[in-house]
Amino acid sequence: MIREILSTSLFAFVCVVNSTAQRQFVFGTEKNPEGKTITVDSYGFKFDDSYVIPVMGEIHYSRVPEKDWQREIRKMKAGGITILSTYVFWNHHEAEEGKWDWSGNRNLRRFLEVCSEEGMPIVLRVGPFCHGEVYQGGFPTWIVRKASEDKDYKLRSNAPQFMRCTANLYNKIFAQVNGLLWKDGGPVVGMQIENECRGPWTYYAGLKSLALKAGFDLPFYTRTGWPKLNGKEVFGEMLPLYGDYADGFWDRKLTDMPGDYEKAFIMRDSRLSSVIATEALGTNQDTRMESQDMMYPYLTCELGGGMMPSYHRRINMSGKEAKPLAICKLGSGGNLPGYYMYHGGTNPYSDKHTMGETQSSDVTNYNDMPYMTYDFQSPLGEMGQMNETSFHECRFLHQMLSDWGGQLCTMRIDTMSAHYSRRGSFEFFNDYVRIKNEKGLSYVKPRNLKVGTAVIDWATAEPFCIASGVTYFIEIPGLKCKMSIDGKVMSPKLDKVFMVRGNSFCVLSRDNAKRLYKIDDELVCSKHDGIVFATDTGVVEEYWTESETYNAKPVVSRKVSDAKGLRTVKLGKQGVAAMPAEEDFRDGDVYKIEVGDIPDDAADDLFLKVCYKGDVARLYADGQLVQDNFWNGKPMLVRVSDIAGKSVELCVLPLSKDYPIYFQSEQRKEIDSAPNGVLSKLDKVSFLIRNVKRVK
């Protein structure tokens, strides 16, 4: 366990920064046609002159079916997300030079219209380089080829032809968003320029100039705060946003949590992470903060809501990781938890190459990723399925920020150590560390918090929300629930409302809290442990059930050919295990999958849960790749709407214990105990059914 106590001089410095006169940022129009304003100062965000702590969640519209956008945005809102962020991947829209595609899942304008209908602000991450584990970081092959032949096309530079092409990209994006900016009454409130770039600043300045010329007049502009810039920036032009991850598919070592991942789970003064993109930026990144950097508000855009498995590193996230990351950032002065990803997705299909990142491409971030799946093990997964632990634990925190974030935003750090921080009326604690201390706790508690006419001196319970005149708290696992209100110490009964000086309080058990959602000023209870959200016709609950059959017809899987043996796993050009090529799947275990006749109106809510063990699984429908999965101990999910009425084959490649691949201990035990150290098995294929029921 890392032990790190921050010096008194640090506290003094942080307090000086937070008490300094507010700095002027060089941003665009702050007011919309209704007179509502979004402004930013050195504390954070103001909405109509009131401080707020928004919660930002990443979802990629081009990785989610268009028909699902509205429902999935509503579910993100139910999870406490108040701002969306999304990449606009260049190669999803201009795969061939001059041929633009904004249709279907790529229909950015329609996605923004849905955001507007749902009252959901959005930040566009426009590149030109995006990363996002997409092929070539989002650069189309045609411009990569030109850059290799002509220095005037040099990528990520002020080279004239590259900037001309980027200007065209920005103009095309603006054509999709025109009329949907905040100043027009639309949802687009900000944009991120570039991604994970050292600069120079003249490159950033050139990109912002192109964006402004295109028409992007917005309340704020951002950049990723990492890596540290080469040279100085011009202060106030772009907000640096930061991040941290509990583990990374990009690391080269085949061990548990190598490098500095433990530091993501402590309170600290540096906003810079030393674990992001270590394969490209190195493991000894400079995390020292300059005084000018500390004049910006502390905002994040990439707190690991989960993590993808890469071919060489099969990370299996439990869901416990996301909340501690957010707790540590809030305790360190953060005023915008921003999750990457909050909602997973699926790459669009290409018959020319994978749409996922690969170490063999000309422009790469050096990792082999699945062709199709981008589930990310996030709070809402690839199909919109709920990761119960991360979804609820983060939701509790987000609801607290919704009701008390305005107060917290300007509260200074009074005390800080590695595992504890106090900001005004809130105490933050975390000693959870992924894998190394899975039994650790992570919570926020009140301290001298005024509620109505009473003061909560202290409590061993987490603030949750205020609804219908009752202030709700949630029990903290492992701590006996006690409260001191106006000097009176009590041990409240869980799930029972009690009164103190005319004020109503209730401490919820954690199980009951998972079923309660605040909608308007009322707590609504789920009946099936699902997600409750508002629709145009009322309040509904979405919950998922598993079944061996659908309409009394079972899903059938039968083996049609055995694997021809183990493939030889070679190291790719980046020095890690290379994923299998298409031809390798001709030699795997092959199964026929039959789902029977599924009505079109039912297929959208049906999924296959493929429980297998092996190296890699791929599922084909009429010969076209529909889904793939790098095994990390979790099942592969498949949309039945993608396979209904088609000839379906599943191919599983055997996995050898000798492959140079990282697996966590549970999966490693399964591999090592397999006959002859070779694992390849299809355990079960079943239906998952997405149910939606009205609850109010």
Between 305 and 282, residue with greater pLDDT: 305
pLDDT at 183 over 60: yes
- Count the helices and strands in the chain (H runs, E runs): 13, 42
Question: Which pLDDT does position 173 carry in this prediction?
Answer: 99
Between 443 and 282, residue with greater pLDDT: 443
Contacts of 115-118 with CB under 8 Å at 24 or more apart are 115/73, 115/84, 115/187, 116/180, 116/186, 116/187, 117/70, 118/70, 118/73, 118/74, 118/77
Specify the range with the lowest mean pLDDT, choosing from 32-41, 59-68, 125-134, 358-367.
Answer: 358-367
pTM recorded for the entire structure: 0.96
Question: Which pLDDT does position 14 carry in this prediction?
Answer: 43
Instruction: Give the pairing type, strands 662-663 and 556-561.
Output: unpaired
- Residue 265 CA, distance from chain mean position: 17
Task: Give Cα separations from 111 to 187, 290, 348 (angstroms).
Answer: 10, 38, 16
Question: Which pLDDT does position 5 carry in this prediction?
Answer: 31
* First-to-last C-alpha distance (Å) of the chain: 47
Question: Which pLDDT does position 23 carry in this prediction?
Answer: 56
pLDDT in tens, 431-442: 999 999 999 999
pLDDT at 231 over 70: yes
Separation CA 326–CA 21 (nearest Å): 27
What is the 3 state secondary structure string of 535-552?
ECCEEEEEEEEEECEECC
Neighbouring C-beta atoms of residue 556, cutoff 10 Å: 12
Question: Which pLDDT does position 143 carry in this prediction?
Answer: 98
Neighbouring C-beta atoms of residue 639, cutoff 10 Å: 20
Question: Which pLDDT does position 277 carry in this prediction?
Answer: 85
Separation CA 450–CA 456 (nearest Å): 6
pLDDT in tens, 483-492: 999 999 999 9
Tokens read off for 368? 């082999």
pLDDT at 473 over 80: yes
286 pLDDT tier (thresholds 50, 70, 90) = confident
Question: Which pLDDT does position 594 carry in this prediction?
Answer: 97
Question: Which pLDDT does position 354 carry in this prediction?
Answer: 93
- What DSSP state is assigned to residue 659? S
Specify the range with the lowest mean pLDDT, choosing from 6-20, 36-50, 277-291, 338-352.
Answer: 6-20
pLDDT-above-70 percentage for the chain? 97
Residue 58 identity (one-letter amino acid)? E
Question: Residue 55's closest CA among 466, 330, 268?
Answer: 330
Tokens read off for 164? 């001309």
The string of DSSP codes covering 672-688 is HHSGGGEE-EEEEEEEE
Is 164 in contact with 171 (CB distance < 8 Å)? no
pLDDT in tens, 7-50: 333 333 344 444 443 458 999 999 999 999 999 999 999 999 99
Question: Which pLDDT does position 600 carry in this prediction?
Answer: 87
Tokens read off for 281? 């930026």
* Alpha-carbon Rg for the chain in angstroms: 25
Question: Which pLDDT does position 280 carry in this prediction?
Answer: 80
Please state, rounded to an integer, the average pLDDT across all residues of the chain: 95
Sequence-distant (6+) residues with CB within 8 A of 387 are: 306, 319, 377, 378, 379, 380, 381
Is 196 in contact with 131 (CB distance < 8 Å)? yes
Question: Which pLDDT does position 247 carry in this prediction?
Answer: 97
The string of DSSP codes covering 299-366 is EEEEEES--PPPSSEE----S-SHHHHHHHHHHTT----EEE-SB-EEPPP-SSS-SB--TTSSS--S
pLDDT in tens, 637-690: 999 999 999 999 999 999 999 999 999 999 999 999 999 999 999 999 999 999
pLDDT in tens, 580-622: 999 999 999 999 999 999 998 899 999 999 999 999 999 999 9
